[in-house]
Amino acid sequence: MNWSLTDNLFEFERPDTTGQRVFRRAVELFAVASSLYLAWSWASYITRLSDVVLPLGIARYMDISILFGSTTAPALAAVLTGFGLIGFWFRNRWAYAVAFLILVVLYAARFSQGEIPHSANLAGMTFLGFALGAAVFKNRTFADRFAVGFAYFSLGLGYTSAAFVKLIATGLSWPDGRHLWMWINEKAVDEIARTGVLVLNPVQEIALSSHTMATGLLVFGLVTEFFAFLTWYKRTRYVVMQLVLGLHIGIYLAMDIIFMLSMVELVLLGLPWAALIDYARDRRLQPTAAVS
């Protein structure tokens, strides 16, 4: 097996196919569309904020409150939209980089209230990959191959890092089922805060009634996260991607937390779409056998 990271992630030497071109463009479309969606949803929320509770990231170095209570944030989202579309349609070298920097500022303003979400990190890293690819590579095919490979790299790095942090912060007792009970109760309170009422689903009921089941769910999650770095390698990529997707479905069922953007991206990156498109195209182009 070839263990070269650059060969497995970027495949610069591989002949190009129609399926790969369509796949790369689809990933790029996802990266741009999700960035526009995040920018506008964050910008609309920023207008109702008036005080910084916890400065995150770039907010530790600049006064992010200048974006509060005015039309500055929506204006930035509009500028980001312009650069995002220029990057997508005209392949301007620096357009994605400018759009990405604006997105970083909007994130810092939106999440200055104490919450530290991670639901948009994967989409943000994917967009960064396209920004870097466009800025560094003049050859479009290489730029896009770098971006898609960077997305797989970020995905593996993020999940495996999460497993390490859990083991460092809590130790081997992390998958104790009682910890899942704590999180289910915590999320139940969030649901009461969100809607005013609470209804537990069957998976939550089972997890709360069985320590073994709760522990099993956490063990599956931790092991899947730990081995997520195997998405860097072609041979193991798709199996691990499906397990990570299963992990997210489990998180949704057990804790009512849905990382929609991450799940869409996992479906996009987690199936061999390029090969499927090429297979379908080859079948369509094959001459029909003559009927005697």
Partner 1 sequence: MTPGMTPDPGDASRAKKTSTRVLTIVMVVYAVTCAVNLGEFWPFSIYPMFSQAGNTWHRVVLRDVSDSGAVDWKSTTLEDLPGEPFGAASVGADPIDLANFVSKTRDWTPERIEALELQVFPRGHDGQSILAFRVSGTLIGDSVAVVAKPVVVVGAVGNILSPELMP
- State yes or no: residue 210 binds partner 1 (CB under 8 A): no
Which pair of structure tokens corresponds to residue 11?
Answer: 């495949």
Quote the least distance from Cβ 290 to partner 1, whole Å: 27
Candidate ranges 26-34, 81-89, 144-152, 237-245; the one touching partner 1 (CB under 8 A): 144-152
Using the rule CB under 8 A, which residue among 26, 33, 40, 45 binds partner 1? 45
The span from the CA of 261 to the CA of 239, in Å, is 20
Using the rule CB under 8 A, which residue among 1, 3, 48, 283 binds partner 1? 48
Residue 290 — φ and ψ, nearest 5°?
-70, 140
Amino acid identity for residue 176 in this structure: D
- State yes or no: residue 136 binds partner 1 (CB under 8 A): yes
- State yes or no: residue 125 binds partner 1 (CB under 8 A): yes
Using the rule CB under 8 A, which residue among 2, 195, 212, 288 binds partner 1? 195
Using the rule CB under 8 A, which residue among 37, 137, 220, 226 binds partner 1? 137
Task: Write the burial class of residue 232 (CB in 10 Å: 0-12 exposed, 13-18 middle, 19+ buried).
Answer: buried
> For 141-188, where are the E strands, in sequence order?
none
Task: Count the residues of the shown chain that bind partner 1, applying the rule CB under 8 A.
Answer: 82
Strand, coil or helix: what is 215?
helix
- Residues in region 103-122 near partner 1 by CB under 8 A: 104, 107-108, 111, 113-118, 120-122
| Contact (CB, 8 A) for 248 and 262 | yes
Cβ contacts of residue 146 below 8 Å, gap of 6+?
Answer: 10, 129, 132, 133, 136, 137
- State yes or no: residue 83 binds partner 1 (CB under 8 A): no
Cα three-residue angle 243-246-248, rounded to 5 degrees? 115
- Residues in region 223-262 near partner 1 by CB under 8 A: none
Candidate ranges 52-60, 88-96, 239-247, 268-276; the one touching partner 1 (CB under 8 A): 52-60
**With respect to partner 1, which residue has the nearer C-beta, 113 or 291?**
113
**With respect to partner 1, which residue has the nearer C-beta, 85 or 211?**
211
The owner of tokens 């759009």 is 99
- State yes or no: residue 172 binds partner 1 (CB under 8 A): no
